[in-house]
Amino acid sequence: MPKLHELTAKQTIQKIQDNEVTAQECVQAVFETIHKLEDKINAYVTLVEEEALNKAKEIDRKISDGKPVGKLAGVAIAVKDAICTQGILTTCSSRMLQNFVPPYDAEVIERIKREDGIIIGKTNMDEFAMGSSTETSYFGPTRNPWDTSRVPGGSSGGSAACIATNEATLALGTDTGGSIRCPASYCSVVGLKPTYGLVSRYGLIAYANSLEQIGPMTKDVYDCALFLSVIAGHDSKDGTSVNVEPKDYTKCLKNNAKGLKIGVPKEFFGEGTNEAVEKQVWNAIHKLEERGASHEETSLPNLEHSLATYYIIAMSEASSNLARYDGLRYGYRVDKDDGDWATVYSKNRRDGFGAEVRRRIILGTYALSAGYYNKYYLKALKVRTLIRENFTEAFKKFDVLIGPTMPFPPFKIGEKIQDPLALYMSDVDTVSTNLAGLPAISVPCGFTDGLPIGMQITAPPLREDLTLQAAYTFEQNTDYKTKKPAIN
Ligand code: GLN
């Protein structure tokens, strides 16, 4: 019998509704795990234990009074610290926002609350979501539960780690260039980046608006589908929100891949791909074939340019988005306001932002400046269109595209942080999805030397159902879901 903190969201909800356990007991069990493991993992920036337990009591009361409860009633949910939560510190893991308490909830938080989900805390991340290792956080790195000397991936490293350790039952991440899928892969949990526009970005602290989405990070594929059904849907407060009918994604989960046409782009297995990763992903593709799928190798030639294109666009947007943090209207302010406006402004920004964020602001500003705009930013936009066209062509022939989520297994803390380009290279298989606005899921597909490997399944716009269905079929026919890090 799994213990309460080990339950999936689906199991938790069932047990609470059947009166086998109370919401309060479930939330308490999760907090006990947090108190036991946080010293070793550092998944959280902020915890809201008292508020969470009060909310759990409220739900238990509703149930004992026979009143209806929401779809996530009693589930302990962790939220990446880039998403605004009313009355709860929201730092983006930056000194710049170390005291920022939002006066409002992001749309996704409102939706969770409407369904009686319980927010338990805010998770650690790379500063302003810039990174792939959760090492650039002002609050120190999060550690990988499978090997605490290694990174959990990033930038949603806290959200992935707390799912792997049962320090939360569901978590929200954000993905601008892989930040949900990378840590999901590195911590052996499920993570989905939705189609651009499917989930409202209202209340998400912006890094690169044209690329990012909020998405679910979960213990299994069913929970991923369930959580997506709650957070997805049109929101008039987000101008890029797609107007589609709400959907119950759990309905598309069938243990069957009959007729599924898989494309395997050779660009997803490029130079630097670890052999064990390559082997495990191929094994996974063959597993799907046993359940009725077929595969064909293919090529999306413009993907070769996706890293360069992504980093120019992401940094350009970041330089503009982060201009608002001057310490005067928002953010960290140095103690003494001596000197003129320009001096105070640059001191605030120099001390408020970490090195990686400053690097990106400078590079992004350069790429947008007169004389370089055409050469870099405009060119990147044109290549982005070509990348998108490659995907459109591929999806005329295939239902999904499959490859590794990350080219190599989790690396040591400190190993790559001094070499920004090496760190950027680790995003080679994830960023093209964001440039094209497509949905993609990372699902655990094996281990090498005890370190997790993830498979990435990409589908056409708004076909989250295809990614979920393929991931579910794979999960049902393997036992990676049951493997948990020894630290538990
Ligand atoms: N690693 C990528 C970057 O640093 C992606 C980050 C993200 O998705 N937020 O830009």
- Which CATH architecture fits 4-263+398-482? Alpha-Beta Complex (3.90)
pLDDT band at 81 (very low <50, low <70, confident <90, very high): very high
Predicted pLDDT at 338: 74
Asked if the model's pLDDT at residue 1 lies above 80, the reply is no
Asked if the model's pLDDT at residue 375 lies above 90, the reply is yes
Long-range contacts of 98-104 (CB under 8 A, 24+ apart): 98/138, 98/332, 99/332, 100/330, 100/331, 102/203, 104/203
Q: What angle do CA 193, 199, 203 make, to 5 degrees?
A: 110
Atom of ligand 1 nearest to the CA of 131: 4
Sign of the torsion angle spanned by Cα atoms 215, 218, 221, 223: negative
Predicted pLDDT at 310: 98
Asked if the model's pLDDT at residue 336 lies above 80, the reply is no
The three state secondary structure string of 42-104 is: CCEEEECHHHHHHHHHHHHHHHHCCCCCCCCCCCEEEEECCECECCECCCCCCHHHCCCCCCC
Predicted pLDDT at 220: 98
Mean pLDDT for 239-247 is 95
Give the residue ranges of DSSP H helices in 338-418. 341-352, 355-368, 379-397
Alpha carbon of 123 to ligand 1 centroid (Å)? 16
Asked if the model's pLDDT at residue 2 lies above 90, the reply is no
Alpha carbon of 310 to ligand 1 centroid (Å)? 9
Predicted pLDDT at 334: 85
What is the rounded CA–CA span in Å between residue 393 and residue 77? 38
Alpha carbon of 128 to ligand 1 centroid (Å)? 9
Asked if the model's pLDDT at residue 335 lies above 90, the reply is no
Alpha carbon of 65 to ligand 1 centroid (Å)? 46
Asked if the model's pLDDT at residue 449 lies above 80, the reply is yes
Predicted pLDDT at 365: 97
Q: Residue holding tokens 């281990």? A: 447
Sign of the torsion angle spanned by Cα atoms 2, 30, 78, 104: positive
Atom of ligand 1 nearest to the CA of 207: 9
Which of 365, 363, 356 has the alpha carbon at shortest distance from 323? Answer: 365
Tell me whether residue 80 is one of the annotated catalytic residues. Answer: yes
The amino acid that residue 240 corresponds to is T
Predicted pLDDT at 186: 98
Predicted pLDDT at 24: 98
Q: Which residues have C-beta atoms less than 6 Å from ligand 1?
A: 129-132, 155, 175-179, 207, 314, 427
pLDDT digits (tens, 9 = 90+) for 452-468: 999 999 999 999 999 99
Atom of ligand 1 nearest to the CA of 426: 1
The neighbour count for residue 40, using CB atoms within 10 Å, is 12
Mean pLDDT for 126-144 is 98
Pocket test for ligand 1, best of 132, 181, 312, 405 (most atoms within 8 A of CB): 132
Strand 440-448 relative to strand 451-458, pairing: antiparallel
Predicted pLDDT at 262: 98
Tell me whether residue 484 is one of the annotated catalytic residues. Answer: no
Mean pLDDT for 287-307 is 98
Residue nearest to atom 10 of ligand 1 (CA): 130
Mean pLDDT for 13-20 is 96
Distances (CA, A) of 321 to 363, 414, 448: 14, 28, 39
Predicted pLDDT at 339: 78
Tell me whether residue 200 is one of the annotated catalytic residues. Answer: no
Residue nearest to atom 5 of ligand 1 (CA): 177
Percent share of the chain, pLDDT over 90? 95
Asked if the model's pLDDT at residue 337 lies above 80, the reply is no
pLDDT digits (tens, 9 = 90+) for 381-439: 999 999 999 999 999 999 999 999 999 999 999 999 999 999 999 999 999 999 999 99
**Active-site option among 137, 155, 188, 241:** 155
Atom of ligand 1 nearest to the CA of 208: 9
Atom of ligand 1 nearest to the CA of 156: 9
Alpha carbon of 175 to ligand 1 centroid (Å)? 7
The domains of the chain are located at 4-263+398-482, 304-382
Q: Residue holding tokens 């990676």? A: 480
What is the rounded CA–CA span in Å between residue 153 and residue 173? 12
Alpha carbon of 177 to ligand 1 centroid (Å)? 5
| pTM more than 0.85 | yes
